[in-house]
Amino acid sequence: MDQHSSTMEASPDGAANVDWKATHGSLVRYLIARGVRADLADDVAQETIARLVVIARSQAIGSLFALAFRIANNLLVDHARLESRIGGDLDEDFVCDAPSLDRIVDSQKAFEVFQRCLNRMPPLRREVLVRRRLHHESCRSIGEDLSLSSKAVEKHITRALTDLRRAMVSAGLDPAGWSAW
């Protein structure tokens, strides 16, 4: 059966009577004429041929080209829907605002190290550090409440930060990323 034949009989070898290469070429030309990129036109034509072969093995096709163009058009619609759901070109770099798994694990480990270190600090040093760094109280205010000079408050903060830095280094954490503390 040649490529211009409009009817194809159903039979186990019915698909073998079609010039699939010529049908593929016709589909690619049709799709490119509709403005489809050449690579996408080839993919759609190939998928269309695969579907036509399956159909031709089980039933008679009244008009091979009419069915081929209908299948190709439906595949284009499916492709457009997929692209609109994904948000455009599949080759774009996707950026995730969530922290990486490594960062999460490092943060959890750092929190545990901080907690252990704080629990081991003398109570006065811990209180001064928490009030200054977590509650953002001034050294003067902390000193007045605890009957300490501002200089003594600063020394407690320095020693507490040194303790925290040592604990992080001994736990294998990079203290450079935690400079806010």
Contact between residue 178 and residue 168 where contact means Cβ atoms under 8 Å apart: yes
Checking if the pLDDT of 148 tops 50, the result is yes
Cα separation of 34 and 28, whole Å? 10
Q: What pLDDT score does 106 carry?
A: 79
Buried b (16+ CB within 10 A) or exposed e, 97-135: eeeeeeeeebeeebeebbeebbeebeeebbbbbebbeee
Q: What mean pLDDT do residues 106-135 have?
A: 91
- Residue 177 — pLDDT band, cuts 50, 70, 90? low
- Percent pLDDT > 90 in the chain is 42
| Average confidence (pLDDT) over 88-115 | 74
Please indicate, yes or no, whether the overall pTM of this predicted structure exceeds 0.85. Answer: no
Residue 5 above 80 pLDDT? no
Query: What is the distance between the alpha carbons of residues 168 and 178, in angstroms, rounded to a whole number?
Result: 10
Amino acid at 180: A
Q: Residues 4-10: what's their mean pLDDT?
A: 44
The beta strands (E) that lie in the chain are given as none
**Architecture of the domain delimited by 101-178:** Orthogonal Bundle (1.10)
Phi/psi for 89 (5° steps) reads -65, 130
**Would you place residue 59 in the very low, low, confident or very high pLDDT band (cuts 50, 70, 90)?**
confident
